[in-house]
Amino acid sequence: MRLTALLVAALCWLAPLPSLAQEAARIVAEHRDQIEKPSRQTIGPVIAALAASGDPMADDILSAWEDKRLVIRKTDGAMFIAAPDGDGFALTALDGTAAGRAAKADLTELKPNAGVRALIATALVQFTLSDPDPEKRRAALASIAQDPTAEALEPLRAAIATEDDPALKAQKQRLERLLTLRFDPDSAARVAAIDSFGADLGLDLRGALNPLVATTRVASATPPEANIARELRLGTDIPEDEAYGLLVAAKLAPARLTLEEQRAALLANLKDGAVGGVPVVELGSQDARDRAYTALEASGAVPAAATDDEAKAALASAKFYEIYAEPAPAVTDAAEAALARIDTKVGAMQAADLGLDALSLASIYFLAAIGLAITFGVMGVINMAHGEFITMGAYTGYVVQLYVPDYTASILIALPLAFAVTFAAGVALERLVIRHLYKRPLETLLATFGISIALQQLLKNIFGTQARPLTAPGWLDGALAINDVVSISYIRIAIFVLALLFLGVFFWLMKRTRLGLEVRAVTQNPAMAASMGINPDRINMLTFGIGSGIAGIAGVAIGLFAKVTSELGTDYIVQSFMTVVVGGVGNIWGTLAGATMIGGLQKVIEFFNPSNTLAAQTYMILFIILFIQFRPRGIIALRGRAAGD
């Protein structure tokens, strides 16, 4: 008995399932005439009934109908879902059972028009949003976000409760709020949705809010029954010509009468020495011509048109307004407040982004100038070929990548190799030229300037004039995006880290090693250092070589985002010298401060004058000239004996 009761209960529980599985087929049968000849105005309830039926076949039926795969067999008028199968079609009944095959000639396709297909697509959203495949759900969300409609709001809300993926659920909730603030019929719900975003910087939010505060200009004799943004002052907020055009569009005034049109009309209506009752001899004044044209208007001889006086009178009697396209004032007020919050935050974020750009540029200038800070700041040698050492480093990285295709490995090899190559070049330059010109700055400047030109030509002869690629590793691609406003490329971050690394290496070298001690001794008092057993010539050679080697490493870093050509170094030599001089000659902290100041100043000038980088460079140089007038020793000046040398 107990077993029998259990079987009966199970059968009772399963009894509704067949009817549910055939619900979609029943709805189709009931509304077959409408489905065969659908109209956008009447088919909506049928599509909605299919979507809400709970029948698993509803999705297949709607998809087939949208794709023109819902067919009628000519022999018996039965309706099926068709799928291409060889030279014919495989048929599936509306309850999901297989129904054999049929030739194309035996079937009639149901072809809904574009409007009906749009309704079907909206109904299918709820199935796609709840599809077991997360990628399909993600694609459905992207599709709705790209083309938001009011019809997608309810299916989206229904799909939120069943979403088990936290990331997708968050996307659905955000998209639901975006659709709510635009399409929900309840103004309070829209205001709540707007306020829920706070000062969110998402572009999607701004894209949803901007249509709510969009305005149009209208002319009216009385205040319009609309959501008025503001009343426009004639001649101040709106030009008279535009205002009169609004009057004409609102049919509150005729079109303006031009002098040419007036003259042609008067000539065409000249009769018996008069026009409109005004003698020709009196038509010498504009007032008389206006009276004549007005008389012709009254008689119907010419179309109505406004003279200047009539236009001024019409403008004086009308009012002009900007009205919101959104009719609910509460919604526009909330949208305006939200956009104001966003604008404030965007301004702060733009300042932060500008600061990051300035810091990034400062790290580049510091990296380019740190070698010069050693050769010029410590040794007092004006090396105009410093830029070419930067270029040599960049070309070293390019050559390494020709033989080492792995970009990460090639950069790791290129950095020490660039140091070695430019170190050797710097030692050679010091031994052959610089050592003979110490304490003769003008001759040093001219000699190194000539060497700079010679090295540029040599690099052109070897590598050509075309820019050569120095490719960054894949992990340096892209940018770190903090939000939709603030971002910084990974290459710039890497250069910033490299600059900090070399700052640390420089201090370790100068403060913690014997070489650093000897360099400081030779810099402060070469004669005393020599009497203590230090070889000043050897120290000068190594110091110049180290400064040149660091320039080579800077060249590899700069080449990752700049074009590697023979003129690469010339883009940084002026900024490098300015960095050292402004910061304070002979002080590494001064070099860092100078790089920060010059990088920040350049970015600020470019922000206010983004279309003219040459002007930005000019303003920056002028500012630095003025700065040096007040602080000739730089930001951080040396003190003691070193300052007086």
Reported as a single tens digit per residue, the pLDDT across 505-548 is: 888 888 888 888 888 787 777 788 888 888 888 888 888 888 88
Report the distance separating Cα 364 and Cα 237, nearest Å. Answer: 47
Q: Is the dihedral of CA 625, 629, 632, 636 positive or negative?
A: negative
Confidence check: pLDDT of 400 > 90: yes
User: Which pLDDT band, with edges at 50, 70 and 90, does 88 fall under?
Assistant: confident
Give the mean model confidence (pLDDT) for residues 204-210: 88
Percentage above 90 pLDDT, the chain = 11
CA–CA separation, 477 and 459 (whole Å): 28
- The Cα–Cα gap between 443 and 381 comes to 10
Regarding whether 532 and 404 lie in a shared domain, the answer is yes
Is 184 within the bounds of a domain? Answer: yes
Contact residues for 20 (Cβ-Cβ < 8 A; gap 6+): 54, 55
Q: Is the pLDDT assigned to residue 586 strictly greater than 70?
A: no
Tell me, yes or no, whether 232 and 200 share the same domain: no
184 close to 153: Cβ distance less than 8 angstroms: yes
User: Where would I find the H helices in 52-196?
Assistant: 57-66, 114-129, 134-146, 153-160, 166-183, 187-196
- DSSP string for 549-587: HHHHHHHHHHHTTS-BSTTTTHHHHHHHHHHHHHH-TT-
Contacts within 8 Å (CB) and 24+ apart, 511-517 = 515/539, 515/542
Does 624 reside within a domain?
A: yes
Q: Residue 338 domain-assigned? A: no
Which of 277, 306, 324 is a domain's end point? 324
Does residue 221 lie within any of the structural domains? yes
| DSSP letter, residue 304 | -
pLDDT-wise least confident of 94-108, 110-124, 242-256: 110-124
Q: Is the per-residue pLDDT at 156 higher than 70?
A: yes
Q: Are residues 376 and 464 in the same domain?
A: yes
The C-alpha torsion from 540 through 545 and 546 to 547, rounded to 10°, is 90
Q: Are residues 99 and 195 in the same domain?
A: no
Q: Please classify residue 98 by burial: count the beta carbons closer than 10 Å to its beta carbon, then call 0-12 exposed, 13-18 middle and 19+ buried.
A: exposed
Residue 308 confidence (pLDDT) above 70: yes
Domain that holds residue 247: 215-324
On whether both 533 and 632 belong to a single domain, the answer is yes
Does one domain contain both 190 and 219?
no
DSSP output for 419-477: HHHHHHHHHHHHHHTGGGSTT-HHHHHHHHHHHHHHHHHHHHHHH-SS-B--PPPGGG-
Kindly state the tokens that stand for 564.
Answer: 């590697």
What is the mean pLDDT of the segment spanning 263-274? Answer: 78
Number of compact structural domains in the chain: 4
Task: Report how far residue 561's alpha carbon sits from residue 80's, in angstroms, rounded to the nearest whole number.
Answer: 60
Instruction: Kindly state whether residues 600 and 489 are assigned to the same domain.
Output: yes
Tens digits of residue pLDDT in 4-52: 443 334 334 333 444 445 777 788 777 777 787 887 777 778 777 776 6
383 shares a domain with 234: no
Assigned domain for 344 exists: no
**If DSSP codes are grouped into helix, strand and coil, which group holds residue 236?**
coil
Helix 240-249 and helix 308-317, axial crossing angle in degrees, nearest 10 = 80
The answer on 87 and 11 residing in a single domain is yes
Average pLDDT over residues 61-67: 79
Structure tokens at 404: 């080492």
Amino acid 168 reads L
Q: What beta strand segments (E) does 35-112 contain?
A: 70-73, 79-85, 88-93, 98-103, 107-109
Task: Decide: pTM greater than 0.85.
Answer: no
Residue 332 within any structural domain of the chain? no
Q: Are residues 381 and 406 in the same domain?
A: yes
Task: Using the structure block, give the residue that is written with the tokens 């993926």.
Answer: 165
Any domain includes 125: no
Question: What mean pLDDT value characterizes the chain?
Answer: 81
Task: Give dist(CA 198, CA 221) in Å, integer.
Answer: 39
Do 628 and 539 share a structural domain?
Answer: yes
Q: At what angle do helices 588-608 and 490-512 cross, to 10 degrees?
A: 160
Each residue's pLDDT tens digit, 347-360: 888 888 888 888 88
Q: Are residues 310 and 397 both part of a single domain?
A: no
